[in-house]
Amino acid sequence: MYGQRFLLASAVIASMLASSSAFASAQPLASANFASASANFTLSSVANDEQRALVEGERWFDFMQEALNNYNFSASLVHVQGQRVELFRWLRGSTEENESLELLRSLNGPEVQIVRRNQHVSYFHSMATPYSLRSNSMFGPIPTALFNEFSAISASYYAVPMGGARVLERPTIHLRLLPHEQDRFGYSLWIDRESGLPLRIATVTLEGEVLEQVQVTSLEVSTEPHPDLEQILELNPPPVVTDNQAQTQLVHNWQINSLPTGFTQIRANHHRLPITGIAADYYLYTDGITRVSVYVTEDPRTNTNLRYDGLESLYTHAYRDYSVTVVGRLPMATLQRIAMSVRR
């Protein structure tokens, strides 16, 4: 916790320096001047500036979510995750009848198209059966948390403005989402100062390594929705998938004793895993941005310790008569701590 508070204070000081006219002039500071300036950062002034920065950060975040939910826009974007590079076209608009429409279409690889009409989201894939879900937002390269107010994630993250940057020939505000604890990744957002729309998004480890990036390569904001959105009104959507598994009772009431602060349970059921057919009790948690899944099974075939470290990491811990697998976009140490805390 203290490490994160130090990181937050450091980020606030960096933000203040980045926004100051002396820093913006890009003139080198003499060591004596720098020492003199540093001496002025008393504990009380840093605390006050920290609070002001956090309020400003929340304001920018909410400005962004309002833009995402209300503007008519057409954008192209690149999604980079490791060696995987995907191109998308992204449209959003509102009709005169106040219907909210959204379209996300892949431009390379297998054809993927996601369509949203109000709270009805349909997923089409050239290699899978199409289906629909009830949701306010799409599940795609843009984190769903960006469509909600900052209060939805404020229990787990700080929003700290870090000065400006130029993205897509537009002035932006660089907003960092810093986790309260060192048990999850952080995020960097570059928000267009004029429209409020995000132009770049990055998932960043505690060590500063970028795990995933979304870069908008073209953007047009208009007063009317893009004509291609009209096809959504004529679309006969696939059937809505019902979660029948949610009605399946858990076999055991497992106790997960080291779940990170801010995570809440959104699903718990018992079902058989795809491909292997192994039966497991399943728990799904979210902190508003990221999700973590916990699978607990007594099947002896899973009595092996496994781990995979990446953006979407996996860790399995085998006990004497059951095993726990934790999957999520969290640091490996956090997944290990969760898995090793599960008890009957």
- Mean confidence (pLDDT) of the chain: 87
C-alpha dihedral, 221 to 210 to 78 to 88, nearest 10°: -90
The closest of 343, 193, 140 to 254, measured between CA atoms, is 343
> If residue 140 lies in a helix (H) or strand (E), which one and from where to where?
none
The pLDDT-based confidence of 1 (bands split at 50, 70, 90) is low
Mean pLDDT of 183-199: 97
**Cβ 261 vs Cβ 281: under 8 Å:** no
Who wins on pLDDT, 14 or 152?
152
User: Quick one: pLDDT at residue 209?
Assistant: 94
The closest of 208, 198, 225 to 79, measured between CA atoms, is 198
How many whole angstroms separate alpha carbon 289 and alpha carbon 344?
Answer: 29
Specify the residue for token string 């057409």. Answer: 74
Who wins on pLDDT, 252 or 26?
252
Mean pLDDT of 211-216: 97
User: Quick one: pLDDT at residue 3?
Assistant: 52
User: Quick one: pLDDT at residue 344?
Assistant: 87
User: Quick one: pLDDT at residue 20?
Assistant: 43
- Burial classification of residue 246, based on how many CB atoms lie within 10 Å of its CB (0-12 exposed, 13-18 middle, 19 or more buried): exposed
Mean pLDDT of 29-38: 47
User: Quick one: pLDDT at residue 32?
Assistant: 46
Mean pLDDT of 291-314: 90
**Cβ 55 vs Cβ 62: under 8 Å:** no
- Name the CATH topology of 53-241: outer membrane lipoprotein receptor (LolB), chain A (2.50.20)
**Domain residue ranges of the chain, discontinuous segments joined by +:** 53-241, 244-343
Specify the residue for token string 């055991």. Answer: 252
User: Quick one: pLDDT at residue 17?
Assistant: 46
Amino acid at 28: P
For the chain, helix (H) and strand (E) counts, in that order, are 6, 19
Who wins on pLDDT, 12 or 101?
101
As assigned by CATH, the class of the 244-343 domain is alpha beta
pLDDT at 14 over 70: no
**Cβ 291 vs Cβ 329: under 8 Å:** yes
The pLDDT-based confidence of 302 (bands split at 50, 70, 90) is confident
Who wins on pLDDT, 344 or 161?
161
Task: Return contacts of 125-131, CB within 8 angstroms, 24+ apart.
Answer: 129/238, 130/238, 131/238, 131/239, 131/240, 131/241
Mean pLDDT of 187-201: 98
pLDDT digits (tens, 9 = 90+) for 49-58: 888 999 999 9
The pLDDT-based confidence of 249 (bands split at 50, 70, 90) is confident
pLDDT at 308 over 90: yes
- Burial classification of residue 19, based on how many CB atoms lie within 10 Å of its CB (0-12 exposed, 13-18 middle, 19 or more buried): middle
